[in-house]
Structure 1
């Protein structure tokens, strides 16, 4: 062998190594560059249009390749700001909410720097009758980053959804915004900020809203009930489960036990909302019925004994309990409980049952009102996790259909479409998926068809390794977020949107916009 061959081989190896490193740097640099976002941008330009195998959708200024250019929307496009309730109809229920940033001290707890609505957290409970016009004036007195209100689970008109940078601008200090919608869906719901939501909701900007077939306990003009208190005449109790910064779980802002007065033999509806970013469970000794899920009544609910019910992050469960002839009934969640019965009654703390109630076969079947077997569009929502760049920041981020950031799918529909979606999760963690503006019905889990009452949800836990087949009718035009309600996960990329043909928005996202919905 010639003596210069080893040196030449070494030089070649170094050159090849350098070229590989350069190529890798180019790939990484390109990925970083492509993930960057401008100072302001439109939600219309985010994502890659997915028409779900249905008829081609065009126009409307959606800004997704061939679908349209957000800078030059179709002249026929309808702005989301025009999707409102009748502006001439007077309000039946009027509420004013004042948002503040202040030091919060919970009963029996330590203080923290948080947020309040009308001086309290949770904010005031709002009540309305089905069919009433609800009007809520939000005044930002001192929340420095701006604030909005999202009506979680209520299928409000598109302009009223409260998502900063999508359906409105965040309400800056000193400014006001008025929300108006018809309370068409009786049920248990909650409202919360959708501006920097992972921080503002955690630190106190939320409250309950109950829509009933008949008024019960609330002032007919204001609809407002003091937070943490059920009306004396009410046959129900509202329970908001929440964990504030630096605290253990609370029930209506109170640690430990909360009481609800009821006579022996009374049937009491316990309306439970999980306002945290993680799933929890509830149970009661002596049996109960799950009478509603996410605001929709269960068809022929059976008696549940020896099992607990999962409550999705953002989700609601209504239980019916019967007060015993002596003593009380205790509705329990980890760390907190609601004691229902006479003022002097007591009840033991029931242990957590080992098994969950399966809502897939609970209750009995009933008509859906549409045929999900022949959808106009079918979408895949496959949740994963991968290394990459999100808005220029390196990390391990959540992915949708293997993509992240502005490359995730954006689901395109026309009004009236029957939509099917398969949600799968291989990310290693549970995700409570929340579609704004719509309820979806669960058709199957892991290929097993639903066989009980129609299981309508707006917030659905999808565990690692699970798949859900769901369907809905696209009957509420707008631009709707579709995201994980573990709110930090939405910040980390688990967010996309459902977009109707012919709808556009004038609002902007980005550091220069003042809008940061997650």
Structure 2
């Protein structure tokens, strides 16, 4: 090891050592430059700490306030929007689901049932399973079935029938329900987990009873973890109308990237004699809009979302069918048949005599515009005398949702669950403006009601009354709709692109005085979206 070099000018013996200070001498402080440098470093650290806190504190606040409770009452979520009407005394939103309010009549959604007595005209049992199964065209899918198939059985009834469905969950581990999409059933029969019932657990069952009040094309599907269960196949069709020659149901669904009509990929056949007036009931069970139409003949759009179109005229244009929506197409079957095309000719349903091979072609680029299609007719109420006027503004912004960072949907500038609860009273005429600046289209679905479209982007509707329960609102579009609040309850109002709903694009229409005993989350594990 090298010895350290000794200093060449050692300190004299009588000198004061360099590391000691005489008692009468004050040690010199740091020089001006050294002192200034220390102060600058200190201020720099404080500024850095301030910047960090300025970032972390708001982020921490946003994170904490984004958390969704592990269990909550859906009647108390968000904030009350009374549509420009002062709250009725005693009807303050968010007080124990209104159940604790004295001096007023309240009613639970559990009491808003269909007929409890009477022999059903239609009585079926539907059993849900999680399993691997084969599509009608032979491909294997790992998903969900109803009575062993997907789509599940088609339920048929007539207007006035009492329908009873016993739903059994054999093996869907997250629980399941049945929602009757488009049928304005009593609230307790609506099938929304945590809102109108508890999810049916494995080994459990639930009985739905309701009268078939309105003819039309509808569908049923789970409303528990629906973004997964519906996608996986837990759905089926329900038609309220007498069975007639030429009545064809075409449920369109995509399994694992394979788009199907009635569970079949490619082309399939529906045998209908030529000369028959066929009614093709098209149901879009997917999460995105789909262009459909008949090729080989002109056709009429005779019903939308289960409501007849007044004065339909023949067209050859395509029809843009929203996710969750239904359309009935009517045409006389040509001698060589006709073809329903869903998106592209690669997926089609030939309708005609056995063995027929009707022409296959791409759909026209033009689409039927329901704002002007058909002829006017009375709607039964005056939207100009609305009791409630609501804004439903759909947007998107970065932030946290339940503690997860991302780009989230907003309603009137608020992220879920701090969204408006649209409050109404029975008998109200309701007017709602739905606008969308989120960058994506949204098929908006209101449970328990049908609304009439008044205008789009400021242009007034001039055709047949356009009644709908699932309305496609494109980006940068604005619709005005109106309806009568004639079905008391607590009703979901959400995007039917179901992943969007699970990402916060959902709220409720709530009648004053309504309560619910059900909870989202908690021990029941209710997850309506």
TM bucket, shorter chain: over 0.9
SS at match of 1:336: strand
Return the match for 1:157 from 186, 204, 225. Answer: 186
- Structure of greater Rg: 2
Is contact 1:419–1:471 with CA below 8 Å preserved after alignment? yes
In structure 2, the partner of 1:92 is: 121
Question: For residues 504 and 323 of structure 1, what CA distance do their matches in structure 2 show?
Answer: 51
TM-score (norm 1): 0.92
Asked whether the 8 Å contact 1:85–1:157 carries over to 2, the reply is: yes
Q: Which blocks of at least 5 consecutive residues in structure 1 are unaligned?
A: 217-232
Distance 1:398 1:134, change over 3 A: same
1:220 corresponds to: none
CA positional deviation for 1:394? 1.6
Compute the RMSD of aligned alpha carbons: 1.7
Give the 5 Å matches for 1:255-294.
Answer: 255-285=265-295, 286-294=297-305
Matched, 1:196 2:225: yes
Cα deviation for residue 62 of structure 1 reads 4.3
Q: Distance in 1 between matches of 2:89 and 2:59?
A: 34
Using a 3 Å threshold, how does the CA distance of structure 1 residues 73 and 351 change in structure 2: closer, same or farther? same
Secondary structure, in 3 states, of the residue corresponding to 2:378? Answer: coil
Q: CA deviation at 1:388?
A: 1.3
Residue 141 of structure 1 corresponds to: 170
Query: 1:405 is paired with a residue of what secondary structure?
Result: coil
Offset of residue 146 of structure 1: 0.6
Match of 2:96 in 1: 69
1:20 aligns with 2:30: no
Aligned match of 1:312: 322
**Mapped partners of 2:417, 2:230: distance in 1:** 25
Deviations 1:196-234 (A, max 9, x none): 00000011100000011xx32xxxxxxxxxxxxxxxx53
- 5 Å matches for 1:83-482? 83-212=112-241, 215-216=242-243, 234-244=245-255, 246-285=256-295, 286-305=297-316, 307-324=317-334, 326-334=335-343, 335-482=346-493
CA contact (8 A) 1:288 1:320 kept: yes
Segments of structure 2 that go 5 or more residues without pairing to the other structure are 1-31
TM-score by length of 2: 0.90
Alignment CA distance shift 1:58-1:497 (3 Å): farther
Deviation at 1:5, TM superposition (A): 4.8
Q: Which deviates the most, 290-299 or 249-258?
A: 249-258
Query: 1 CA distance for matches of 2:92 and 2:211?
Result: 28
1:500 aligns with 2:476: no
Alpha carbons 2:114, 2:189 under 8 Å: kept: no
Q: CA deviation at 1:39?
A: 2.5
Structure 1: how far apart are the matches of 2:134 and 2:522? 32
Cα distance in 2 between the residues matched to 1:98 and 1:60: 41
Q: 1:51 aligned to 2:61? A: no
Flag the 1:480–1:71 CA change in 2: closer, same or farther, 3 A: closer
Structure 1 residues 61 and 156: alpha-carbon distance in aligned structure 2, compared to 1, 3 A threshold: farther
